[in-house]
Amino acid sequence: MYIWVRCIIIGIALCLFQVMGIGQEEELCDNEVAEALFDRKDYRAAIEAYECSLEYSTDTTCQAESYYRIGKAFCRLSNYRTAILNHQWALELLDREKDPKARAKNYSGIADANSKLGNFEEAYYYESKALQIAEINNDKKSITRSVYQLGNYAHSIEDYSRALENYMRVRTLLGTDTVTRQYGTTLGAIGSAYIGLYQLEKAIKFLEQSAELGIELKDSTILFYALGNLGEAHAESGNVELAVSYIHAAIEGKEAFGDQNGVVDSKLELGQLLMAQKRYGRAETLFTEALMEANEIGAKVKVLECYQALKSLFSENGQYEKAFYFLDRYTTLKEEMLGEKTRELIEEHNIIYQTSEKEAEIKRLKDIQVQRDENDRLKTMIMISVVLLITGLIIAGYRINKDLSRKNATLAEIGDQLKRKNIELEHFAHIASHDLKEPLRTISSFTSLLGRKYVDNLDNKAQEYMGFIHKSVANMYTLLDDLLNYARADRPKSEATRVKSNQLLDVALGNLNAQIEKKDASIIVQEESLPELEIVPSQLVQLFQNLIGNALKFSNGKKPEVQVNCRELSENYYCFSVKDNGIGIAPADQQKIFEMFSRLHHEEAYWGTGIGLATCQKIVDLYGGKIWVESELGKGATFYFTLPDARNEKSRTV
């Protein structure tokens, strides 16, 4: 009882202090100086001003806004990794329910910084989160902006179908507002996506509309980028002269309004076109001009492209010394850029090391805010002292609920981190595959060149060694492709669509057509048994292609016979089977074959990477299915895998 009396006395004292103004602080969120510096593009001074405001502010909303602006400033200074860290600190402070728009703009900020680093899959992931918030709030302007950005990120990773889908949605969102810069830019983007899909008539149609709108709006940016893309479209369709004239016009326009990056791209494109016509002199001039301008603006990636173009040009027209010279320049710059990348990673690790101090500061600020909330609750309890006990129980319940919410939020964040790591794995596999293929292409190209040029000077042993090199390069290509397919096998189920499995089987058989004809194989498909499924199409194609490809490979000299069938199970699943008449698999090995890099045979007998069946296992696991084999040595094998019924998936979603 004595304790409750003390609480009431303390509470009355606090109320008196509040009335008298004792101990009150006014929380300000005034960043006018920092905003003025930011607007003047003095980004370093703006960062210092925002960081100064963080030292004195205890309001989490103000702190989050400061971190957001710091992130934008670092992005303008090309310090993209530090920009990402500041946006993430802002997200740590923002309430999921109360501050959705602030969270959305920080997600977009992280997406923008990742795109500048070339992490377009990561950028797509974060911009999708911003779009979800915009859709919940029915913010049409933000929806349009996010969807357009998603189209750009998909286009950057050459996923032209996904890019086109987003651009078409932007066009629908703009509605009747068709005489605007945004509409003209969208038409050009649609045309560019159609070029990537090799639907050239549609590409030309949309690009011409974009160019006409650029003329009507007197917008040179829209006009000349449309002309450049029209040049590319006509080049792809074989109308070379018209393509050359369009690209010339685009170059002149981009030079007029000072877009040096655009000029370099267009000159490289025009040079490649002229090189294909064997107009080597003019192509060399364009490549050299592009190289000079790329060096002038310090665009090392474009300098690499220029070196690559000049190396290919001189190699093609027989000037091998020059070709070797530019190959050496290319290799030297590539190594230099890798060194810079390494230094950036070291700097990033240093920043991450410092993150713990920032996190401790955030925790301190949160504790201050919690303490202020506690004080407010104590004042309220004294003013309604008659129901003090009930209020105490309510507060205890609130605390428990808040703790549960915090734990749920932590679990959600862990799930998000896992998704990001999967995206990083796929991105790493894509980059590793591309960068490792480049030296392989160079080895193959120069080995072929040596073989053709010095064939009369090589003895049988030397020619045999050349054959070993070609075979090893081909095997390495296959291994890299299989690794990339394995990394892509866990594309999110959110990209699934309802498809007919017999159509995807036809795609797989088309991909294997050369092997089928070479071995005179017989493929028997029970078309009527193949169902509709809710699945990512490329994943089902990969399943069929890997299993039928193995059936063709392990035929032991016999004419392969492959049967594809499907039956409906009672548990709302379909069971597919791929049966062959090949060499069979011993019972002791029937689990081992689904392990990564597992091979049962010496590579001289049956060459393979040991990744194909592991990829199948990964895809089937993603949909909650199973995959297994039934076989005996010398009596063929039957592979089974189960996938959920599309109708059942739909009902669960609803």
At 175-216, the pLDDT tens digits run 877 788 889 899 999 999 998 898 989 989 999 898 898 888
Q: Please tell me which residue, 177 or 631, carries the higher pLDDT value.
A: 631
Dist. CA 517–CA 560, nearest whole Å: 11
pLDDT at 347: 60
Q: What is the DSSP letter of 176?
A: T
Q: Kindly state the average pLDDT of the residues 615-644.
A: 89
pLDDT at 473: 65
Q: Kindly state the average pLDDT of the residues 544-558.
A: 86
pLDDT at 2: 43
Dist. CA 146–CA 21, nearest whole Å: 47
Q: Is the pLDDT of residue 94 over 90?
A: no
The confidence band for 161, taking pLDDT boundaries of 50, 70 and 90, is very high
Q: Kindly state the average pLDDT of the residues 534-557.
A: 87
pLDDT at 9: 44
**Strand 561-568 to strand 573-579: parallel, antiparallel, or no bridges (unpaired)?**
antiparallel
Transcribe 12-71 into DSSP letters: HHHHHHHHHTTT--------HHHHHHHHTT-HHHHHHHHHHHHHH---HHHHHHHHHHHH
Dist. CA 527–CA 563, nearest whole Å: 11
Angle at 59 between CA 54 and CA 60, to 5 degrees: 85
Flag the least confident range among 174-188, 224-238, 326-340, 459-473.
459-473
Q: Give residue for tokens 């170059």.
A: 251
**Tokens at residue 631, please?**
């076989």
pLDDT at 654: 29
Residues in the chain: 654
Flag the least confident range among 10-14, 480-484, 533-537, 568-572.
10-14
Burial class of 533 by CB neighbour count within 10 A (0 to 12, 13 to 18, 19+): buried
Q: Kindly state the average pLDDT of the residues 151-157.
A: 90
pLDDT at 5: 43
- Please name each of the domains of the chain with its CATH number: 29-157 (1.25.40.10), 495-644 (3.30.565.10)
pLDDT at 239: 83
Asked whether 117 and 81 are in contact (CB, 8 A), the reply is: yes
Q: Is the pLDDT of residue 304 over 90?
A: no
pLDDT at 597: 67
Q: Is the pLDDT of residue 348 over 60?
A: no
pLDDT at 27: 41
Q: Is the pLDDT of residue 428 over 70?
A: no
Q: Is the pLDDT of residue 463 over 80?
A: no
pLDDT at 14: 42
Asked whether 181 and 217 are in contact (CB, 8 A), the reply is: yes
Average pLDDT value for the chain: 79
**Tokens at residue 4, please?**
């409750």
Dist. CA 112–CA 478, nearest whole Å: 34
pLDDT at 96: 65
> H or E stretch including 464?
helix 460-488
Closest Cα partner for 43 from 83, 11, 5? Answer: 83
Asked whether 472 and 492 are in contact (CB, 8 A), the reply is: no
Dist. CA 130–CA 116, nearest whole Å: 18
In this structure, what is the dihedral angle of CA atoms 270, 276, 282, 288, given to the nearest 10 degrees?
60
Asked whether 532 and 570 are in contact (CB, 8 A), the reply is: no
In angstroms, how far is CA 168 from the centroid of its own chain? Answer: 20
Radius of gyration of the chain (CA): 31
Dist. CA 365–CA 90, nearest whole Å: 13
The confidence band for 150, taking pLDDT boundaries of 50, 70 and 90, is very high
353 Cβ neighbours under 8 A, 6+ residues apart:
none
pLDDT at 453: 72
The confidence band for 108, taking pLDDT boundaries of 50, 70 and 90, is very high
Flag the least confident range among 11-15, 224-228, 495-499, 612-616.
11-15
Rounded to two decimals, what is the model's pTM?
0.48
pLDDT at 4: 42
The confidence band for 154, taking pLDDT boundaries of 50, 70 and 90, is very high
Q: Is the pLDDT of residue 405 over 80?
A: no
Flag the least confident range among 14-23, 100-109, 425-434.
14-23
pLDDT at 11: 44
Q: How far is CA 648 from CA 498, 532, 565, 570, 619, in A?
A: 12, 11, 21, 12, 19
Q: Is the pLDDT of residue 110 over 90?
A: yes
Dist. CA 183–CA 142, nearest whole Å: 15
Dist. CA 129–CA 142, nearest whole Å: 12
pLDDT at 352: 52
Using N-to-C axis directions, what is the helix angle for 181-196 and 220-236, rounded to 10°? 20
Q: Kindly state the average pLDDT of the residues 84-102.
A: 85
Flag the least confident range among 68-72, 465-469, 611-615.
465-469
Dist. CA 106–CA 67, nearest whole Å: 9
Q: Give residue for tokens 């998909």.
A: 154
Q: What is the pLDDT of residues 111-132, one digit of tens each?
A: 999 988 888 899 999 999 999 9
Dist. CA 619–CA 94, nearest whole Å: 36
Closest Cα partner for 568 from 644, 630, 620? Answer: 644
Q: Is the pLDDT of residue 456 over 50?
A: yes
pLDDT at 511: 87
